[in-house]
């Protein structure tokens, strides 16, 4: 991991001073609620979370991680949608994952292997996020056994989701994959352009248009 590597190009993050105390606290409550699903938290844990996770805002279409950069942050999405993708020679986006609110997002290979990212992470809509740097995440995990367990459970969640997606691509039809997306992530269907959804479930946009007509 390179020190002093800036991932955010031509961005103006909104600082906490630009928000009211109540707004900040509501955002932190969402993050704390998410983390508490994986680990029981006490008062000191909450203070630690607030000291290590930092609020940021990025506008629609803003790249957060670019190819060739070191992804030195992981994110929790408060609101907004993001695409994690590889840019093909054709100019099209090969969508690896679509991220919705109340989820963690990162370029895992770059973040954990300390390598330059081969993919990009970009905001599809305006995004409000909490970020944590890799050094701060290591501080969190090393604080006590509880946080180490949290990190393991979080990684298990990522791996299970990845495996399920691979199985779905093999075992489900395109229509079944789209219906499952509607059932599990309706916000993505409602807020993400059809071209990106089509790439995510592995079909052409025109094929997805036909599928939508068939099930509506």
Count of structural domains, the chain: 2
Region 194-209: mean pLDDT is: 95
Q: Is residue 201 part of a domain?
A: yes
Query: Is residue 14 scored above 60 in pLDDT?
Result: no
Q: Is residue 58 part of a domain?
A: yes
Which ranges constitute the DSSP H helices of 53-185?
A: 108-113, 134-143, 145-171, 174-184
Query: Quick check: 114 and 70 in contact, CB under 8 A?
Result: yes
Question: What is the extent of the structural domain holding 150?
Answer: 16-157
Rounded CA separation 57/205 (Å) = 30
- Verify that 130 and 199 share a domain, yes or no: no
Rounded CA separation 89/15 (Å) = 37
User: What confidence category does residue 18 fall into, taking pLDDT thresholds of 50, 70 and 90?
Assistant: low
Question: How would you list the strands of the sheet with 120-123, edge to edge?
Answer: 63-65, 120-123, 82-87, 93-99
Rounded CA separation 4/131 (Å) = 16
- Verify that 41 and 143 share a domain, yes or no: yes
pLDDT tens per residue, range 127-181: 999 999 999 999 998 898 889 888 899 889 889 998 999 999 999 999 999 999 9
- Verify that 27 and 75 share a domain, yes or no: yes
Query: Quick check: 100 and 181 in contact, CB under 8 A?
Result: no
Q: Which helix (H) or strand (E) holds 214?
A: helix 205-215
pLDDT tens per residue, range 65-83: 999 999 999 999 999 999 9
- Verify that 80 and 179 share a domain, yes or no: no
Q: Is residue 208 part of a domain?
A: yes
Rounded CA separation 196/208 (Å) = 11
Query: Is residue 119 scored above 50 in pLDDT?
Result: yes
Q: Which helix (H) or strand (E) holds 25?
A: helix 21-36
């Amino acid at each position: 991991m390179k020190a002093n590597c800036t991932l955010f190009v031509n961005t103006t993050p909104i600082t906490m001073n630009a928000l009211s105390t109540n707004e900040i606290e509501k955002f932190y409550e969402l993050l704390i609620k998410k983390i508490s699903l994986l680990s029981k938290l006490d008062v000191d844990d909450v203070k630690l979370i607030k000291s290590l996770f930092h609020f940021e805002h990025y506008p629609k279409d803003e790249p957060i991680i670019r190819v060739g950069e070191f992804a030195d942050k992981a994110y929790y999405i408060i609101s907004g949608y993001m695409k994690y993708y590889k840019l093909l020679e054709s100019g099209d986006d090969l969508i690896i994952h679509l991220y919705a609110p109340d989820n963690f997002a990162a370029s895992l290979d770059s973040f954990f292997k300390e390598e330059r990212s081969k993919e990009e992470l970009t905001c599809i809509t305006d995004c409000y996020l909490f970020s944590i740097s890799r050094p701060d995440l290591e501080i969190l995990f090393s604080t006590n056994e509880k946080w180490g367990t949290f990190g393991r459970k979080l990684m298990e969640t990522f791996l299970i989701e990845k495996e399920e997606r691979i199985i779905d691509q093999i075992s489900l039809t395109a229509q079944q994959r789209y219906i499952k997306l509607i059932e599990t992530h309706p916000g993505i269907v409602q807020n993400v352009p059809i071209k990106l959804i089509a790439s995510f479930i592995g079909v052409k946009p025109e094929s997805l248009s036909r599928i939508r007509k068939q099930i509506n």
